[in-house]
Structure 1
Amino acid sequence: MNTEVLYDFTKTATLDGWYTVNDDVMGGRSTCSFEIDPQGNAVFQGQVSLENNGGFSSVHYRFPAIETTGYNFLSLRVKGDGKRYQVRIKNWADDYYSYIAYFSTNGDWQDIKVPLRDMYPSFRGRTLDMPNFAGGKIEEFALLIGNKKEEAFRLTIDKIELLKE
């Protein structure tokens, strides 16, 4: 199986290119952080609030364009908290929409495989009348939690890759 590593977190990894976005951009009150833990994994954690029409927290990673032709899956090695998360990619970082898919966590380490062809276009929670992800290239990866309820969350991330199968 051939892979293209988007990010492999280690104790010495920097978080250059990573940034958080919460619903406070729209007046909400959700908060989050993104940092490397002592084991060398990334930890995305915080509190989702529904106050002031809020309801989401996210972490984004922008990088030079990566060719996706021939890759079939986005693969994540994560340890979650039993909650549902959204994975997002963009062909171009400046696109207004993302291609998204959901995954659920179970409290243990999991290898999540998301078929790229199943990622569908969405903007502000609405599915767009456009084709699903068709390959080409990507310049942005993101994780988001927004389950329409107030909740604390914690997602530990080891590695993010593209897979050929």
Structure 2
Amino acid sequence: MKKLLVVIAAALMSSGLFAQAAGNWVAYSDEEGNGGSSTAVATENNGTVNFSGTVTTQYQYGYAGIRTDDAAFIEALKSAKGIKLTVKGDGKKYSVRVETTDRPDYCFHQFTFPTSGSNKTFEIPFTRLTQEPWGKAAKFDPSKIKTVSIHTVGQPIPQYSLDIVRLELLK
């Protein structure tokens, strides 16, 4: 069974499409390790992953996110030109972060995008990724990619909901 899944994943990647199931996404929030009370839940329905919850100010930099470190996808991403992300949201802004192993200060390269109630696709070459102004500036190195995450922007957020419809390699 595991070999079959690897073959299916390879076929999807070679076509440029790699839609993630909820099992490949892990939700996280400031509740874990920072003493906050924000929430994050990931569910999957027909190939679309929904990421929802709340962001509080109990932790001064309240946040919630969802990430994938699927080994096959991450390895393929290292030789891609970027990502193509299709989402449907709640009108709020989110950031997609391409996290690398060389950022001990967590100032990852990211792209912030608006959402709406309809599907919206963003083509994000690595050259469009920027860092937050508070961290140490560093050149983006695709060979060091470890995770792709999608993160809330701002706080408090009484309720958020984002559908990740498709995540693709930008070739």
- Please classify the TM superposition score into its range, dividing by the shorter chain length: 0.7 to 0.9
Post-superposition CA distance 1:26-73 (Å, at most 9, x none): 111110100112x43100000111124242101111122425466333
Amino acid at match of 2:156: K
Amino acid at match of 1:57: A
Q: What percentage of aligned pairs have identical amino acids?
A: 24
Other-structure match for 1:49? 56
Other-structure match for 1:8? 19
CA shift, 1:103, in A, is 0.6
**Structure 1 residues 44, 68: CA separation in 2 closer, same or farther (over 3 Å shift)?**
closer
CA shift, 1:22, in A, is 0.6
Other-structure match for 1:36? 44
Structure-to-structure mapping, 1:13-28, within 5 angstroms: 13=21, 15-16=23-24, 18-24=25-31, 25-28=33-36
Other-structure match for 1:118? 128
- After TM superposition, the score normalised by the length of structure 1 is 0.79
Other-structure match for 2:112? 102
SS at match of 1:148: coil
CA distance in 1, matches of 2:115, 2:59: 28
Query: Equivalent of 2:145, from 120, 138, 150?
Result: 138
Structure holding more strand per residue:
1
CA shift, 1:143, in A, is 0.5
Q: Which runs of 4 or more aligned residues in structure 1 lie more than 6 Å from their structure 2 counterparts after TM superposition? A: none
Structure-to-structure mapping, 1:65-76, within 5 angstroms: 65-68=74-77, 71-76=80-85
Structure holding more helix per residue:
2
CA shift, 1:95, in A, is 4.6
CA distance in 2, matches of 1:163, 1:52: 35
Please state if 1:81 is matched with 2:90. yes
Amino acid at match of 2:136: L
Please, which runs of 5 or more residues in structure 2 have no aligned partner? 1-13
